[in-house]
Amino acid sequence: MSLLEIDAINTFYGDSHILFDVSMEVGRNEVVALLGRNGAGKTTTLRSIMGVLAPKTGRVRLDGHEIQGRPPYEIARMGMQLVPEDRAIFGQLTVEENLRLAALSAEKAWSLDRVYEFFPRLKERRRSGGRQLSGGEQQMLAIARALIRDAQIILLDEPFEGLAPLIVRDLVRISRELAEQGRTILVVEQNVVAALSFSHRVYVVNNGHVVWTGTPAALQADPALMKTHLGV
């Protein structure tokens, strides 16, 4: 049984039908990339999984338990963490306060030292306010907040968007280290090369439909598919 199972979900924004019978699965200790052009339905898929949006039909299971219709805070307590595109850190709190707050309701929270091993830059900035951080540092903090809760699975929504190439390189390295340590990750990303560099499997979505699934190597070996659905 997969850790995360999405079975034929249909999600709407008002009267607009956005996801059409989307089915996916993510195995334990697997990194899966969800790719597609802007507006393809990637972020809506993550929000539907996390409970930010409620699928109208279909099932979402986490470790065998149905979670569709549950509020996000319940799903988070069950072991899933969403790192949203806007990062959603608390700008008025310091780095360390953001991390301690995230750890408060976790059953088995990581120590701060363990988090800082992945993000030494955050240790340097631990007393800095969230608003004082660069975009890359804010993204590091957003990911660190998910890690400190020892999540079973982390959903990353556009983690590399708008960041300088050197920062992207560092975040890709960290993502690869997490993958090598067996962390389960579902990542949505426009930077196809970066996402494929640490993923085990790929789903491609177009206009709210899953149109392809396979390995990164198989996707890269199909230039026509890459150009049609990813624009690369």
One-letter amino acid at 190 equals: Q
What pLDDT, on the 0 to 100 scale, is given for residue 70?
94
What pLDDT, on the 0 to 100 scale, is given for residue 180?
84
Per-residue model confidence as pLDDT tens for the chain (232 residues) = 689 999 999 999 999 999 999 999 999 999 999 999 999 999 999 999 999 999 999 999 999 999 999 999 999 999 999 998 888 889 889 999 999 999 988 888 999 999 999 899 999 999 999 999 998 899 999 999 999 998 999 999 999 888 888 888 888 888 888 888 888 999 999 989 999 998 999 999 999 999 999 999 999 999 999 999 897 6
| DSSP 8-state symbol, 130 | G
CB 92 within 8 A of CB 129: yes
What pLDDT, on the 0 to 100 scale, is given for residue 1?
65
User: Nearest Cα to 88, choosing from 139, 52, 122, 126?
Assistant: 139
What are the domain boundaries of the chain? 1-79+190-232
Across 63-145, where does the E strand assignment appear?
A: 65-66, 80-83
What pLDDT, on the 0 to 100 scale, is given for residue 231?
78
Map residue 169 onto helix, strand or coil: helix
What pLDDT, on the 0 to 100 scale, is given for residue 108?
86
Residues in CB range of 5: below 8 A, 6 or more apart: 24, 25, 59, 60, 61
User: Nearest Cα to 9, choosing from 212, 213, 209?
Assistant: 209
Residues in CB range of 214: below 8 A, 6 or more apart: 201, 202
Q: What's the predicted TM-score (pTM) here?
A: 0.92
What pLDDT, on the 0 to 100 scale, is given for residue 224?
93
Cα separation, 214 vs 180, in Å, equals: 20
| Radius of gyration in angstroms for the set of CA atoms belonging to the chain, rounded to a whole number | 17
What pLDDT, on the 0 to 100 scale, is given for residue 112?
95
Q: Show the tokens assigned to 230.
A: 């990813």
Assigned CATH class of 1-79+190-232: alpha beta
